[in-house]
Amino acid sequence: MLWSLWCSTGLLRVMGVNVFKLSKSSLRNLDGVHPELIDVVKMAIQITKVDFGIPSTGGYRTAETQHKLFKDGKSKADGYTNKSYHQTGNAVDVFAYVDGKASWQPEHLSQVSCAMLEAAIRLDVNLRWGGHFKSFIDMPHFERGK
């Protein structure tokens, strides 16, 4: 795949040196997410070059939560007519964690995407990255395909 040409997670991370860990809140924010997708996130945090976490609305969402995000202009899915993959536990959003702060900068999220996509390949999970969407770019978003 083309993305593999510019993605390199680094041998030291795979060998266990400088491995990042998900925080307790990030793990809690994965409640309700499909187990395969959780496995991808847990492997990706071990091989990523850029630390990352899961925001409070980054995992499973109720219709009400999804609708609020829609009304706030943070999602294209309204939660009722147009449902999000988050509502079935088949999507997760991430943020990069750089210099002690959350980052949604493309250069940071691109590095996280490399780890997520590599982990999905290793685990044989069909994963789509929002950075590859044609209609709009959603770099923090990853969804489990069917």
Show the CA angle centred on residue 60, arms to residues 55 and 66, nearest 5°. 85
Which pLDDT score is estimated for 1? 39
Is residue 18 within 8 A of residue 47, CB to CB? The reply is no
Is residue 55 within 8 A of residue 38, CB to CB? The reply is no
pLDDT tens digits along 43-94: 999 999 999 999 999 999 999 999 999 999 999 999 999 999 999 999 999 9
Three-class DSSP labels, 44-107? HHHHCCCCEECCCCCCCCCHHHHHHHHHCCCCCCCCCCCCCHHHHCCEEECEEEECCEEECCHH
Which pLDDT score is estimated for 18? 59
* Percent of the chain at pLDDT exceeding 70: 88
Domains of the chain: 21-144 (3.30.1380.10)
Strands 52-53, 95-98: pairing kind:
antiparallel
Lowest mean pLDDT among 12-16, 81-85, 128-132: 12-16
At what angle are helices 106-123 and 35-47 packed, to 10 degrees? Answer: 120
Average pLDDT over all residues of the chain: 91
